Amino acid sequence: MAVQTIPPGQVHGVVGGHVQDSNGSDAGRLWDVLVDDDGRPRAAVIDYGGALGIGRRKVAVAWQVLHVAPEDPTHPIHLSLTRQQLGAIPEFKYGSGPTTLGNGR
């Protein structure tokens, strides 16, 4: 079997990572990645808000608004959305219903 080697620092685990909004404030964590039938990432589920687990909500955002920032150790994932914009996205739920994505437009 042929193996492929990727040099260090070129790929990053993202699930569970802290997310920062476009104002530079904390916007929770990346909870899950939603992929289409071909396995390409389409959206990310962000879990944010609240305190001690109360008041958290999950929203799905388009993959394009996500930027990986490995140089930022505390918040390796940046969003080009604000928390206000996250508030406008309906709650994400796993299941057969339609998924509304926040895309910043």
By beta-carbon proximity to another protein, the closer residue of 5 and 84 is: 84
Q: Which stretch binds another protein (CB under 8 A): 35-43, 63-71, 72-80, 81-89?
A: 81-89
DSSP assigned state of 63:
G
In the complex, least distance from residue 96 CB atom to another protein, rounded to whole angstroms = 13
Q: Is 13 in the site for another protein (CB under 8 A)?
A: yes
Q: In what order do the strands lie in the sheet with 66-68?
A: 66-68, 77-79, 18-20, 26-35, 41-48, 57-62, 101-102
Strand partners, 26: 20
Instruction: Return residues touching another protein (CB under 8 A).
Output: 13, 15-16, 29, 31-32, 48-57, 82-84, 86-87, 91
